[in-house]
Amino acid sequence: MNPTDSHSNSHPLNINGVQRYLPLFKVQPDLAIAVLNILGDTELTEAAAAALQQRMADIDFDVIVTAEAKSIPLAYALSVHSGRPYVVLRKNYKSYMGEALSTETLSITTGKTQTLYLDAKDRAAIQGRQVALVDDVVSTGSTLAAMRTLMAQAEAEVAAVAAICTEGNAEQWAEVIALAHLPVFPISA
C-alpha cells in the first residue's frame, strides 16, 4: 500500500519508518479526527507490531486481547512477533459462542452504542491469565473501558495496554504503550 499522494486534509504519521498520511474525518459538527485504518496495510501493521513487541518485551503477559475489527491484523501480527495467542472480542453474538460475556461501548467513529462479546472458548483461554489489551487507536477510552470490564468478568488480569496511537488528551493515556499520538482537529464555523 502506498502513502496517499495528496497531503491536504490529512495528518502525517510515521510508525517505525513507515510513513502514512491519515485522512481527516468529521466526527462532530466542530471536530475532526485523523483516521488510521490498518486493514489491508500489511507494511504499516508489521512495522507497528514489531515496534510494539520491542516496547512490550519486558512485560509478563500470556494472551493478547483486541476488539473487532480494525485492530485484528495488529493483534495477529503481534501474536506472531511475540509467540503469544490472541483473542478477539466480537461485536455480534453467534450461537456457537456459547455462554458469552458481554458489555457495551460507544464508538467515536460510528457515534452508536456497540456490544462487545467474549465467547465461552476465549473466556476459558484468558481466565486467570495476564492479558495485553491491544487496539489500533485509543481515543475516548470507551472501547478500552469495555475491554477492561470483560476482562474483570472473565477473571483475567490486565498486564498492559498497547496501541499504535493514542488520540486527544495525551496525558489521559499515560498508561498506554503507544507508538504515536494523534491530535484532534477543531473545525471553526
Residue 160: partners with Cβ closer than 8 Å, 6 or more residues away: 56, 59, 61, 132, 133, 177
CATH assignment of the domain containing 69: 3.40.50.2020
Tell me the CA distances in angstroms from 97 to 92, 112, 131, one per residue in order.
10, 23, 20
Query: Residue 170: what pLDDT?
Result: 84
Query: Residue 4: what pLDDT?
Result: 40
Range of the domain at 138: 38-181
CA separation for the pair 110, 106 (Å, rounded): 8
- What is 36-69 written as a DSSP string? P--TT-HHHHHHHHHHHHHHTTT---SEEEEETT
Query: Residue 171: what pLDDT?
Result: 87
Q: pLDDT tens digits, residue range 171-183?
A: 899 999 999 999 9
**Weakest-pLDDT range from 53-57, 68-72, 127-131, 133-137:** 68-72
Task: Determine, yes or no, domain membership for 22.
Answer: no
What average pLDDT score do residues 22-40 get? 92
Nine-digit cell at 184? 484532534
Domain count, the chain: 1
Query: Residue 168: what pLDDT?
Result: 85
Query: Residue 56: what pLDDT?
Result: 96
Query: Residue 88: what pLDDT?
Result: 97
